[in-house]
Structure 1
């Protein structure tokens, strides 16, 4: 493990404690978890027991029943995994700011997973500042750690790509497993014996989707993808009439699987190198560009604070352009527009918790065209994605939506409403793809 670049010491204290505490907050898995291995390493080197803590906060920002059900499925599965490792595992219901300090009080060192979104960084910093303990953060959910890849918000994929490729061998192979067996094993599980539905009464109900959370489900999905779709991934992944996507974005969001594991398994498959190149581009370059964006952006809710200057200028110049169609949030949320392809994309989002990647771009572009301002469109898209997408509230989602407004993109030929921001048309969809096939696949 490359400790200097994946692990960062946040705070140093002379305080001694009875155990090493790993606050598992972003990487809910046992395999390819650098945070867990670093915690095991410290437990071995200090000859102290290790405790792993998961906090289930039912007031988690913008999370609803759909998100919590998927998350809790995965957490419950971890109990047996930590039992096999003889590592104490505590699942506590409450707020981060209350539970983590309680556990830190008697701990020697606190280790946690790196956060990439401002509000989560703020929660961590508040906890760090109020507790006298040595603290480490570990960047385990990216192949190349966000700060190692770049010290600033990158302009686009073409600027971050060479930086990532330069470091890929180093970080793809930096993982070390430490042989730690706990001297005493204990489980404290606040979810045990609870009717989860009763506990979630205070949470907004949104029907769960077919996907089930957890590390083992992520592993099965990866195997299915590699066996059934990967051989023609480069050629067909962009076609919305086909289901050639991996569907692993949910599992990456919750940290149920590591991008390193996906890459290491994919590289074993004897296939056209273009498939691996396409996977690497999407899983590493584009995904880590998104994390770079949210990590270094001060305020992702303020559209004009982060868009490139050319996009801001062109949007302002066209802010009074007449829209042929105007829809309110209620119409959009309930897929009541004149555009059957857009309606199908919104239907897919609501009922499957995702939109096919190509249709997701079209979905975003049309909301811009059908609302009174870019700012309104941005708020609507964030709301819909965070509410319905199983991988909502994620750097990938925020960057994908920001792209619709010109972020990480270039200027195009000027037109009404969009100015020089890239435009997508219904005719373009029909020329490229079997859109009736998409409607049939999504709507049944």
Structure 2
């Protein structure tokens, strides 16, 4: 337990709610502010990408004894299911036997996390707009409008967990020597839905993350507990085969019939959902520093928003909390040191998972359908099973381990250079599972 402080968390999303539980358990008085209504009272749909919980996320829940009840909301996915036009369904395992990522509805999980935090004694202030913060004394400024009268709410400490367009970070950006960048993909996304069968079962294999890769665009589907799938269409905003090009229902139906024929019978509300649900943007945001003295800190998307293609936005945010908690245990009440060590530890790893997430976007939309890429993955999987101490595939290092993201990026780059050479071997498609290939990889691993 630390010396009790009065702490405000701005943002009642997944990271804000879990952080509030950690801080409350450490003995602090915790208030959570959010400009939106209580998520438990509203319908949550239209702009969601289902979550893919993996080792890092589960660890943060395990440390608070929360994972068991969250697992009841999760569906294990042990493989990708690749849907190609005119070809059989192709399955690609994510890891070794027994290793899975878990599909969870963002809305369901967020509701649960808020209720768990309330049960701990955390106090929530919904529909309360935080417009600014005074960094020097951790005072929040709230009000109905940005130009109207504000109320001052004083705290010992403030955490900004208010997402990629954080108001807390907005204030920190106006400091001297604050670095900030944001980059939008020219690809957006739109939520669609595959409903359950009449008997409540899933229309597709429920233990797979389904991908329809089409080079410049793709469709994915993740299972829900009620038998449905949350689908996400990723496409360029403009140009051929873009959101701009799908302007009416006939064009939309013809597009899906050509590029996603296997979905025609399973997405009955395609037209309604497509034109009702918003087209959302994808942004990578980087900044530094993440803290101010021992008063204010950014966490989760407020400090490192990433694109969703590794499924690690939430996992990385939860890992922020894990590392912060470890430092709280190590340094006690020395919050200045806690904050400095926290940002120093997490910044390189946040940058690494941002890069990895962008690269996985390229892999998912095109390479998962490429025969040479699939052969390379088979070689890597075979070699890692034979020499597990010498080779852990990049995806497993990111998703099924707790090793730093920055280490995964560096080792992944070295592994890619090795595999690029291996794939140039004569008749590699015929001798991919031979001792010759094994020896080539071993030789390259031993080369400085």
TM-score range, shorter chain: under 0.3
More strand by share: 2
TM-score, scaled relative to structure 2: 0.25
TM-score, scaled relative to structure 1: 0.26
